[in-house]
Amino acid sequence: MGNCPGTVCLSPVRDLSCDAGAPDQEPQPLRNQNNYRITEADKLGTGGLKSKCYGNLSAIELLKHLEANSRPATQDEKQILVRYVGWGGLPQVFDPANKVWQEERAQLAALLTTEELESARATTLNAHYTAPIIIQAMYALLQQLGFPSTTK
Mean pLDDT, consecutive 10-residue stretches, the chain (152 aa), reads 52 50 69 82 88 96 97 95 91 97 98 96 80 80 80 50
pLDDT score of 28: 77
Domain that holds residue 63: 45-130
Q: How many distinct structural domains can be found in the chain?
A: 1
**In this structure, what is the dihedral angle of CA atoms 58, 64, 68, 73, given to the nearest 10 degrees?**
60
pTM for the model stands at: 0.67
Does residue 120 belong to any structural domain of this protein? yes
Does residue 53 belong to any structural domain of this protein? yes
pLDDT score of 152: 46
pLDDT score of 138: 87
- Taking the C-alpha atoms of residue 29 and residue 85, their distance in angstroms, rounded to an integer, is 32
For the purposes of burial, counting CB atoms within 10 Å of the CB of 26, is it exposed (0-12), middle (13-18) or buried (19 or more)?
A: exposed
